[in-house]
Amino acid sequence: DAKTTQPNSMESNEEEPVHLPCNHSTISGTDYIHWYRQLPSQGPEYVIHGLTSNVNNRMASLAIAEDRKSSTLILHRATLRDAAVYYCILRDYRDKIIFGKGTRLHILP
Amino acid sequence: DTEVTQTPKHLVMGMTNKKSLKCEQHMGHRAMYWYKQKAKKPPELMFVYSYEKLSINESVPSRFSPECPNSSLLNLHLHALQPEDSALYLCASSQDAAGWRTEAFFGQGTRLTVV
């Protein structure tokens, strides 16, 4: 299974943009890059996913490097409710959703 | 309806008990998953069902027995558990055999305590 590497934790101020990095240097051509987050005492929640092109949705943007060896989840304006553990996951045809350690995001008021 | 519903929310069981966890989705998803999550750790994959057939078993001990009676329902039967099996058990679903190209939906989990 291709691995992802994320910082253990990050801090950001409320109402500022947050850039959460993820390295996935062993990604294969058909792996999709998914991001999920887990708020305290809840199940993981889908955030965004992509293959090659940058993606936007109502929650976030996903910027994928041209060589696909890294990606960045962008929260455009962080709120206190965005404090969570963010997981970057590679999904392939075997459909095993394997979680790494993730990044714990702290939002400062 | 984009929900994955897990019952019960909390469960306390003795080491000699038999109990079952239930997971239900009505999104027409054909891939369903069980995860185990210990405190402060990421979820660990246990089982994957694809079109009601077990496709992945991540070397889970036989005291955990999954069952997929139909396309909407996933059970996890528990028997002779140990205290170290206490954890949050999460269920998830995604669209179909090409589900890796779509989002997965997770339930809120069952908090299991083995005494």
HEC secondary structure over A19-64: EEEEECCCCCCCCEEEEEEECCCCCCEEEEEECCCCEECCCCEEEE
Q: Do B109 and A43 touch (CB under 8 A)?
A: yes
**In whole angstroms, what separates CA A26 from the centre of its chain?**
17
B12: part of which helix (H) or strand (E)? strand B10-13
Using a pLDDT cut of 70, give the percent of chain B over it: 96
pLDDT for position B97: 59
Chain B residues in contact with A51 by the CB 8 A cut-off are 101
Residue A40 above 70 pLDDT? Answer: yes
Distance (Å, whole) CA A100 – CA A5: 8
Residue B62 above 70 pLDDT? Answer: yes
Search chain B and give the residue with CA nearest A94: B100
Q: What is the mean pLDDT of residues B36-56?
A: 94
Q: Distance from B86 to chain A by nearest Cα, in Å? A: 15
Q: Do B43 and A46 touch (CB under 8 A)?
A: no
Q: Do B50 and A95 touch (CB under 8 A)?
A: yes
pLDDT for position B102: 83
Beta bridge partners of A30: none
Residue B2 above 90 pLDDT? Answer: no
Distance (Å, whole) CA A36 – CA A87: 5
Facing residue for B42 by CB, picked from A51, A96, A102: A102
| Euclidean distance between the first and the last CA atom of chain A, given in angstroms as a whole number | 38
Distance (Å, whole) CA B47 – CA B95: 16
pLDDT for position A91: 85
The A residues from 51 to 90 touching B (CB cutoff 8 Å) are 51, 85, 87
pLDDT for position A56: 96
Write out pLDDT tens, residues A9-35: 999 999 999 999 999 999 988 889 999
Each residue of A42-54: b (16+ CB within 10 Å) or e? ebbbbbbbbeeee
Distance (Å, whole) CA B8 – CA A19: 37
Residue B69 above 90 pLDDT? Answer: yes
Write out pLDDT tens, residues B80-114: 999 999 999 999 999 865 667 788 999 999 999 99
Mean pLDDT of chain A: 93
Q: pLDDT class for A88, splitting at 50, 70, 90?
A: very high
Using a pLDDT cut of 90, give the percent of chain B over it: 88
Residue A2 above 70 pLDDT? Answer: no
